[in-house]
Amino acid sequence: MKVNLIAPGWSPKNIWGQIKFKFPPLSLTTLATFTPEDVEVVITDENVDEINFEDGADLVAITTMTPQANRAYQIADEFRRRKVKIILGGFHPSTMPEEALSHADAIVVGEGEGLWGRLIEDARNLRLKRVYRDRVPLDLSKLKPPRRDLIRGKSYLFTNTIQVTRGCPLRCEFCSVTSLFGRSYRTRPIQAVVDELMELKRESIFLFIVDDNLIGNKVYAERLFGAMEPLKFKWASHAPLHLVEDESLMKLISQSGCFALFVGFETLSRENLSLMGKPRNMKIPPRDAVKKFHDHGIGVLASFILGYDHDTKDSFKRILDFCNESRIDGAIFPILTPYPGTPLRKRLEREGRILTDDWDMYDMEHVTFRPMGMSVDELKEGYEWLNANFLSWTSILKRIFKVHRSIQIFGPMNIGFRSAWKRRNNPQPPLPFKHIRLHKHSRLGKDTRKF
């Protein structure tokens, strides 16, 4: 039996589709470890691979987030025309199961590792169920090291990615993490993490920890950072803004080798923070927070969500001025997006403010709802203006022209984002996104076919 695990690609019309530094799909390399040993497994990441529809797979499993949902359905439908069984899973099928079922033989709702072996056996014995739902969250002590051998040689920036926790104890209105993991916060045994890190160090001293909130359990975080310090990694991850309130934890995370953190500043408006469910951010002056991170040698990739109810046309310049004056290392500016399964989605539905369910537009670059403090066009124009100015050479040099250990990460990152933004505004894809280039081994040769 052969199984093909697929990650759909980003559209070239989106900045994430133009970013050159790609990271491997850890969810798929992890799922591969739960596949029975007598089953052949391949991983196809459309961000770096072409899809071979004639590869002889008996079962194709596609993981998808909402902005790739339509693409996932196109891929699924093309395989199903070839009589290949399709499994859909990930954030979007978990929150939109009925929709996903119209493109699949079965779907996985929630986490898949705990039930994957059973699903494979059902497929072998021609008794697939329509819905698989593991009602007990995976015990992370049973998590196995990912099958990184399946992605070796592909054009990723590097493959040293690891997960040590799952879930987040915070209750942000806009976040889809709890729709998949619930509000539980689970941790891997420290020794298992260290063992995996020792193997990763053979490849590189650079590391990305993919966790959504690395400090959700302070006691665990302290033990983790203590265990990582002697390994001498240079690593990055995600953490909430209130990390800066804990000086001892800041010191530990810095000493463990952290060079960069993705931090959700989210907004400069106290009213928006309250609406988001992030009152703790109100206690921390944003500029002071940036300074504290920098004082500990940690660069900041900040996220500011655009279009919350108390944003106005003035918000864009205010954010740009803050980023430049605080010399923030990097930032992204997603347009507020009401993803299925989130409290935000439910609120905007109640208020009659959802404008479209075209999932291609749920890429954080399109306006999919009716804003309160500005028009749809003003929000879109503000997004374009803010990104263009933040990624200008003037802003980049003002922000990162300093002696700081994180420059080795944020120098290339800013240049990479600038280049991707320029390509995104002048895309020259080999084909329109909704065409699929068939693999050279296809019976149809190199022709294209629209789904």
Regarding whether 189 and 40 lie in a shared domain, the answer is no
Regarding whether 383 and 264 lie in a shared domain, the answer is yes
Rounded CA-CA distance 378/380 in Å is 5
Regarding whether 236 and 126 lie in a shared domain, the answer is no
Rounded CA-CA distance 317/328 in Å is 15
Instruction: Assess if residue 437 is contained within a domain.
Output: no
Please count the other Cβ atoms lying within 10 Å of the Cβ belonging to residue 198.
10
Q: Could you tell me the pLDDT band of residue 447, with boundaries at 50, 70 and 90? A: very low
Are 15 and 427 a contacting pair, CB within 8 Å?
A: no
Regarding whether 184 and 61 lie in a shared domain, the answer is no
Q: Which domain holds residue 360?
A: 160-405
Regarding whether 255 and 329 lie in a shared domain, the answer is yes
pLDDT value of residue 442: 33
Between 408 and 253, the more confident residue is 253
Structure tokens at 168: 């987040």
Mean pLDDT on 399-411: 79
Using DSSP bridges, classify how beta strands 258-266 and 299-304 pair: parallel, antiparallel or unpaired: parallel
Which of 75, 109, 139 is where one domain is finished? 139
Which of 139, 168, 197 is where one domain is finished? 139
Output the DSSP codes for 377-410.
HHHHHHHHHHHHHHTSHHHHHHHH-S--TTHHHH
**Domain total of the chain:** 2
- Is residue 444 predicted with pLDDT exceeding 60? no
Instruction: Assess if residue 65 is contained within a domain.
Output: yes
Regarding whether 358 and 393 lie in a shared domain, the answer is yes
Write the CATH number for 248: 3.20.20.70
Regarding whether 202 and 96 lie in a shared domain, the answer is no
End-to-end CA distance of the chain: 27
* Per-residue DSSP letter, 88: E
Regarding whether 209 and 298 lie in a shared domain, the answer is yes
Regarding whether 271 and 199 lie in a shared domain, the answer is yes
Instruction: Assess if residue 439 is contained within a domain.
Output: no
Q: Which amino acid is at 354?
A: I
164-205 confidence digits (pLDDT tens): 999 888 889 998 887 677 668 999 999 999 999 999 999 899
SS3 364: coil
Instruction: Assess if residue 50 is contained within a domain.
Output: yes
Regarding whether 190 and 122 lie in a shared domain, the answer is no
Give how far Cα 306 sits from Cα of 265, 364, 367, 388, 398, Å: 12, 9, 10, 15, 23
Instruction: Assess if residue 414 is contained within a domain.
Output: no
Instruction: Assess if residue 422 is contained within a domain.
Output: no
Beta bridge partners of 448: 437
Residue 161: its H or E element:
strand 161-162
Regarding whether 174 and 284 lie in a shared domain, the answer is yes
Using DSSP bridges, classify how beta strands 59-63 and 85-89 pair: parallel, antiparallel or unpaired: parallel
- Is residue 142 predicted with pLDDT exceeding 90? yes
Would you state the torsion angle of the CA atoms of residues 62, 63, 64, 69, taken in this order, to the nearest 10 degrees? 20
Output the DSSP codes for 259-310.
EEEEEEEE-S-HHHHHHHT-GGGGGS-HHHHHHHHHHTT-EEEEEE-B--TT
Are 31 and 112 a contacting pair, CB within 8 Å?
A: yes
Structure tokens at 419: 């280049």
Among 16-25, 111-120, 269-278, 429-438, where is mean pLDDT lowest?
A: 429-438
pLDDT value of residue 446: 30
Structure tokens at 267: 């907004």
Write the CATH number for 95: 3.40.50.280
Output the DSSP codes for 29-58.
HHHHHTS-TTSEEEEEETTTS---TTS--S
243-285 confidence digits (pLDDT tens): 999 999 999 999 999 999 999 999 999 999 999 999 889 889 9
On the 0-12 / 13-18 / 19+ scale of CB atoms within 10 A, 442 is middle
Regarding whether 104 and 213 lie in a shared domain, the answer is no
Instruction: Assess if residue 425 is contained within a domain.
Output: no
Q: At what angle do helices 315-326 and 393-400 cross, to 10 degrees?
A: 40
Instruction: Assess if residue 392 is contained within a domain.
Output: yes
Residue where the block lists tokens 């989130």: 342
Which of 139, 169, 191 is where one domain is finished? 139
